[in-house]
Amino acid sequence: MARPKCCRRVAEQPACKIFKPIGVPVTMLEEIILAMDEFEAIRLADFEGLYHERAAERMNVSRQTFGRIVEAARSKVARMLIEGLALRIEGGEVEMAEKRIFLCEKCRHTWDVPYGTGRPGECPACGSTRISRGGEQRGSGRRYGSCRGKGCRRT
């Protein structure tokens, strides 16, 4: 009997949930489902360029598990591109990462940053380096899936 899956930590929801070839209605296309943890693995490894060990820490999984997740995700994305399929991002056993809030002392802009990503060097609005921590969102890590953790549910 296989071990139950643990929640994988995901920093944020994707900006778009469906990708498809232009000019073809999504109803006429076969869909591939990319789970939220697979999306996060591609984001960490390919977009942020993190080594597997560091990316695995951010997702709260082992390096070997991260390798399997990113391999499956890349395979799905490649199939979607080559065969002209629709890609839908949804589901999986995930926990939304908690965030830290920062405040710019110059322009009063506030923004949040996931835990484990380091302190920002400057304000994204005005570029000032006069930034401080704002109110915290500790304990707001939402879980999705069936991992038996506090507040877990499937997306």
| β-sheet with 18-19: strand ranges across | 18-19, 86-89, 31-34
Identify the DSSP state of 46.
I
Domains and CATH numbers, the chain: 8-95 (1.10.10)
8 A C-beta contact, residue 65 and residue 54: no
Over 60: is that where the pLDDT of 144 sits?
no
Greater model confidence, 87 or 57: 87
pLDDT digits over 94-131, tens only?
777 677 788 899 998 888 887 667 788 899 899 999 98
8 A C-beta contact, residue 85 and residue 31: yes
pLDDT number for residue 69: 94
Q: Give strand ranges (E) for the chain.
A: 8-10, 18-19, 31-34, 86-89, 94-96, 99-104, 110-114, 131-133, 143-144
pLDDT number for residue 21: 94
Q: Rounded CA gap, 101 and 129, in Å?
A: 15
